[in-house]
């Protein structure tokens, strides 16, 4: 079943409704609101693929499949307990990729030179 309007279309409409930024306090609040909308829009568009890739990386590190939230919690516990070394190359790769994914959603104009 198709839902109209989509979440992305709603976000775009609200962003347009907020109008242009100006130097007033209201302009600041509109800018903050538009930034929030943009973050949510990027998360809706990008997160499903990012989550799937992160789930695969964590499953490889932990040696079994599972849901993202469960694997994430288990990975944290495995690191704290020393079952996965902090300098494990797979862990470092996963953490770098996860950080870059977060930046793409939260701060897409952030200039970075991280290498994987």
pLDDT of residue 93: 96
**Mean of the pLDDT values across residues 14-22?**
72
pLDDT of residue 51: 96
Q: Is 1 within a domain?
A: no
Q: Is 116 within a domain?
A: no
Q: Is 2 within a domain?
A: no
E strand or H helix at 24: none
pLDDT single digits (tens) 73-85: 999 999 999 999 9
What mean pLDDT value characterizes the chain? 86
Q: State the residue range of the domain holding 28.
A: 7-106
Q: Report the alpha-carbon distance of residue 102 to residue 96 in Å, rounded.
A: 10
Q: What's this model's pTM, rounded to 2 decimal places?
A: 0.79
Q: Is 25 within a domain?
A: yes
Q: Which two tokens stand for residue 94?
A: 């996963």
Whether 56 has a pLDDT exceeding 70, the answer reads yes
Q: Is 84 within a domain?
A: yes
Q: Is 112 within a domain?
A: no
Structural domain tally of the chain?
A: 1
Q: Is 113 within a domain?
A: no
Whether 65 has a pLDDT exceeding 60, the answer reads yes
pLDDT of residue 23: 62
Sole residue written with tokens 């930024």: 21
Q: Report the alpha-carbon distance of residue 116 to residue 104 in Å, rounded.
A: 15
Backbone angles phi, psi at 61, to 5 degrees: -65, -40
What number of other Cβ atoms are within 10 A of residue 69's Cβ? 10
């Amino acid at each position: 079943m198709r839902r109209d309007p989509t979440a992305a279309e709603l976000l775009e409409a609200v962003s347009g409704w907020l109008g242009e930024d100006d130097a007033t306090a209201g302009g600041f609040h509109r800018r903050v609101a538009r930034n929030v909308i943009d973050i949510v829009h990027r998360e809706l568009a990008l997160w499903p693929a990012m989550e799937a890739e992160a789930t695969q990386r964590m499953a490889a590190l932990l040696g079994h499949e599972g849901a993202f939230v469960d694997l994430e919690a288990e990975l944290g516990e495995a690191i704290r307990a020393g079952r996965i070394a902090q300098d494990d190359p797979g862990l470092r790769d996963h953490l770098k990729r996860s950080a870059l994914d977060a930046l793409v959603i939260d701060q897409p104009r952030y200039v970075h030179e991280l290498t994987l």
